[in-house]
Structure formats: structure tokens, C-alpha cells
Amino acid sequence: MFKPIPKDPVSIHEKIVKEIQSSILRGKLKPGDKLPSERTLAEHLGVSRTSLREALKILAASGVVTIKQGQGIFVAEQPQPDIYKVLSNRVFTEDYSLEDLYDLRKVLETQAVVWAVRRASEQQLQQLKQIIAETRQKISENPNNSIAILTEHDTNFHNALAEASGNKVLVRVMQNLLDLIEETRTRAFLIPGRGKKSLDDHQKIVDAISSRDSDEARQAMYYHLESVAEDIRKVNESTGFINMNKT
């Protein structure tokens, strides 16, 4: 469940906090789960109990865990509204590269469409189709504002897709990840034809989900994200932007 904490100049308790947060984001720890005893947890992480206690105090203050005297430490049963935003913000505050972030999107969103194939309601499928149709209509009526329209569409579509997956943690993580890379996604739409390509890709993804075809949906999403990442690389190289977080 947990990885040993490496000894380096970064504060040990901060690393413990990140490791426990990561376990929650990955779904290895769920709301209401009891953490191992202090001694066992310290041994698993390879840290002192003093450092562990400091990390647990931070997590408790953030509403991530609840410390119950005489009972133990539990993942918050009813997390505060912003708990997943707090967790995902901590994960995404480093200076990650384009490849790091889009590799993560490929992992998250190719799985999201598989879940959507299994779980999406007809109403959610109609919403995804409507998002695409309304965007095409808006662009035809106001082509001079197509970049802003496409950026808004991209955010709405991928967030709606996360919702259709039925995984609440994924919804929170995707909201923050998309916010983080918004400017970079916007620059991609400066490339002629990128907007139409994304809309067509999105339609193929929705068609595959509607057909309840997991393999086709996964492939369509992977191809879409790989294509977008390649176009963003071209824009970044031509404008001098290398890292997503420096946009």
C-alpha cells in the first residue's frame, strides 16, 4: 500500500503526507478506512514515529484523516468539499513536463472511457453528444471566437466524461489537471485544423462509449491525447514554451 520514504533533503514529514495522499487518490485507501497502527505505518514507510506524527497532524488539519482517540486513524468518512482539490493540487504543484502530464492523462482518461462504457447512463451520453453539437453550432455562428469556444468545450467535454466514469476521485483530479494545463490546451487550438480534429475525436470517443465498446473507446481516447500532445509540443517548441506549468 505504501512505499518506503527516501532519505533526502526534502522534509520527511512532507514526503509522508504526499505518500498517504497518493494512496487515497489511487483508491488504495477509501473514505472510512482505518490506517495501520502508528508503529506499523512507520515501519512500512521506513520513517520515525516522530516524523509520522507530524505528517498525521497536517493531514488531520487538512481534513484528509480523522484521529480518533483510542480507536486509531481513519481516512475522513465524509471529506470536506475541497479535499480532493487539496490532494490533487499538491500532486500537481511540481514543475512537470509535457510528457509527464500527458502520460498521466493517457492513464486516467483511457481508463475513464472504459468505466464510462460500463457505467454511463443514457442521459450522460446525451450530454456528451450535446456538448459536441452545441460547440459546432457556436463556432458556425461565431467563428472569430472559435479559440475560446473550443477551450471551453474541451474542458466541459473531458469533465463530463470523467463524470460519466462514475469515479468521484477521478472527477476531482481531472478538474484540477485540466485547469492546470488550460493555457497550453488553448495554444493547441491555434494550430489550423486542431479544433475540428478534436471535435471529430471527441465524437468517435462518444460513439464508442455509446456502442459499449471498451477497446474502441480506449483506442480512440489514446489516439486523441497522443495527437493533442504532439500538436502542443509543436506549439511549445515554436514559442519557446517547454514545460506545461510555465505557460
- What pLDDT is recorded for position 228? 93
And the C-alpha cell for 130? 450535446
- All three cell numbers of 40, joined, read 506499523
87 versus 221: the higher-pLDDT residue is: 221
pLDDT at 81: 44
The gap between the terminal CA atoms of the chain, to the nearest Å, is 35
Rounded Cα distance, 190 and 238, in Å: 12
Domain covering 12-84 assigned CATH 1.10.10.10 in the classification: yes
Reported CATH class of domain 96-239: mainly alpha
> Helix or strand or coil: residue 223?
helix
CA distance 147 to 131: 16
pLDDT level of residue 243 (50, 70, 90 thresholds)? very low
- Among 59-63, 70-74, 191-195, 241-245, the minimum mean pLDDT is found in 241-245
pLDDT in tens, 206-227: 999 999 999 999 999 999 999 9
Of the pLDDT bands very low, low, confident and very high (cuts 50, 70, 90), residue 238 is low
Instruction: Give the integer Cα–Cα distance in Å for 170 and 216.
Output: 21
* Residue position matching grid coordinates 474542458: 155
Full-model pTM:
0.62
Quick one: which of 218, 211, 225 has its CA closest to 181? 225
Helix or strand or coil: residue 74? strand
Q: Where are the domains of the chain?
A: 12-84, 96-239
